[in-house]
Amino acid sequence: MIRKNFFVHKWSIRALKIGLVLAIIAPLVSCSGDDDEDLVGNWVELSQFEGYKRTDAAGTTVDNVGYIGLGFDQDKDRLNDFWKYDATANQWTQIADFPGEARNSAVAFEAGGDLYVGTGFYTTTTNASVYSNDFYKYDTSSDTWEQIADFPGAGRIGAVSFTIDGIGYVGMGRDGGNSYKDFYAYDPSTMAWTQVNSYGGNKSSDGVAFVIDGEAYVCTGVDNTYNDDFYKYNASANTWTKLRSISDATDDDFDDDYDIVRNNAVAFTSGGKGYVATGGKNTSGSTVWEYNPSTDLWVEKTSFEGSARYNAVAFTINDKGFLTTGQNSSYYFDDIWRFDANAEYDEYD
């Protein structure tokens, strides 16, 4: 009897020791797993946009100042106001109103230190639908607008735009029944548009573009299906180069977790890398992906910390990404956030 009790007691001690070892190991394994799942990057909310809450606006950066205007307000009325954002002062200032028809889904680019805005959609006083190809220049020094030569392609919505070496580029998008892949360049020195080589991938609307080291990167968007192709444009050679797809398109491991395909997203650059954020497959989204041009690979970053949304506007100021406006279902936004790509996540800022 004594031997039996001794055996049980000895076995209990052994079990206790095993339990203690497992108790010590478990948190270490758990922490390691959590570390693997932690994403890098931090979003900081700034001073609210001072204009109406809106969606489907147009915006870009000129001389490290963010510009945004047009779009829909909460009552579904199209807008023609424009604003600029000074990130250093965290201050919004209204500028002269856009002189064309109030519209949504226009594009904007910078060229020669000025702001250019055009295309988009509006309705006339007789309720006729217009997919516009008119374009306007905003002189940042005089706070004045003037109409320039019309965009030579078909009037459209959901186009993408970018700037390389002082030349603005606009292409892709759609009208009532067609999607496009054509591209045109605007040279402010000649005040003329020139057609360049069309996008190398599929026709697409509501995609994104960003520029790194003088080359443009274009991806996402939708036609009959959501596009997963990804191309780089070299302006001096007028060539498009196919890059790795933005979906799980190979048998290799690098793209197993890719979830980048979407439309109505935004893009910006920071630290020599490109970022695609928000949007979704015709849904509101908040995920953020970082593209490294030196490896042609994407990694997921900390998700956008504001409300999930689509049809927002983003721009880069002082090498940081900023995101503002947009919508989630019937709710429209007027908040603005800055993304620090390499900062640790801080839920309290």
Give residue 12's domain range.
1-37
Q: Does 304 lie in the same domain as 232?
A: yes
- Quote the percentage of the chain above a pLDDT of 90: 86
Q: What is the maximum alpha-carbon separation in the chain?
A: 105
Of 17-26, 240-249, 279-288, 312-321, the poorest mean pLDDT is in 17-26
Query: What is the distance of C-alpha 171 from the center of its chain?
Result: 17
User: What value does the mean pLDDT take over residues 314-335?
Assistant: 97
Same domain, 62 and 198: yes
- Check whether residue 251 and residue 171 sit in a common domain: yes
Asked whether residue 147 falls in the same domain as residue 262, the answer is: yes
pTM equals 0.89
> What's the pLDDT at 19?
43
What percentage of residues in the chain have a pLDDT greater than 70?
Answer: 89
Query: Is residue 349 included in any domain, yes or no?
Result: no
140 lies in some domain: yes
Q: How confident is the model at residue 37 (pLDDT cuts 50, 70, 90)?
A: low
Query: How many whole angstroms separate alpha carbon 48 and alpha carbon 39?
Result: 26
Over residues 42-65, the mean pLDDT reads: 97
Q: Are residues 4 and 60 in the same domain?
A: no
DSSP character string of 73-120: -TTS-B---EEEEETTTTEEEEEPPPSS---BS-EEEEETTEEEEE--
pLDDT score of 42 more than 70: yes
Buried b or exposed e, range 210-229, using 16+ CB within 10 angstroms:
bbbeebbbbbbbbbeebbbb
**43 and 31 both lie in a single domain:** no
Residues 6+ apart with CB under 8 A from 31: none
**Cα–Cα separations (whole angstroms), residue 172 to 85, 151, 167, 223:** 28, 12, 17, 10
- Averaged pLDDT for residues 73-99: 97
Residues 253 and 138 in one domain: yes
CATH of the domain at 286: 2.120.10.80
What pLDDT sits at residue 278?
98
Rounded CA gap, 279 and 72, in Å?
Answer: 17
Predicted confidence band of residue 26 (pLDDT cuts 50, 70, 90) = very low
115 and 247 fall within a common domain: yes
Length of the chain (residues): 349
Q: Please check whether residue 348 lies inside any domain of the structure.
A: no
Mean pLDDT to the nearest integer, 179-199: 98
Average pLDDT rounded to a whole number, residues 100-124 = 98
* Residue 237 within a domain: yes
330 vs 308: CA distance, rounded Å: 12
Please say if the pLDDT value at position 30 is more than 80: no
192 and 102 both lie in a single domain: yes
pLDDT given for residue 174 in this prediction = 98
Nearest one of 296, 295, 336, 338 to 316, comparing CA atoms: 338
Number of domains the chain is built from: 2
The answer to whether residue 239 scores a pLDDT higher than 60 is yes
Q: Is the pLDDT of residue 108 over 90?
A: yes
Whether residues 3 and 73 fall in one domain: no
pLDDT bin (cut points 50, 70, 90) of residue 5 is very low
Q: Please indicate, yes or no, whether residues 114 and 26 belong to a single structural domain of this protein.
A: no
- 166 within a domain of the structure (yes/no): yes
Instruction: Answer yes or no: is pLDDT of 182 > 70.
Output: yes
Asked if 22 and 162 sit in the same domain, the reply is: no
Q: Is residue 346 part of a domain?
A: no
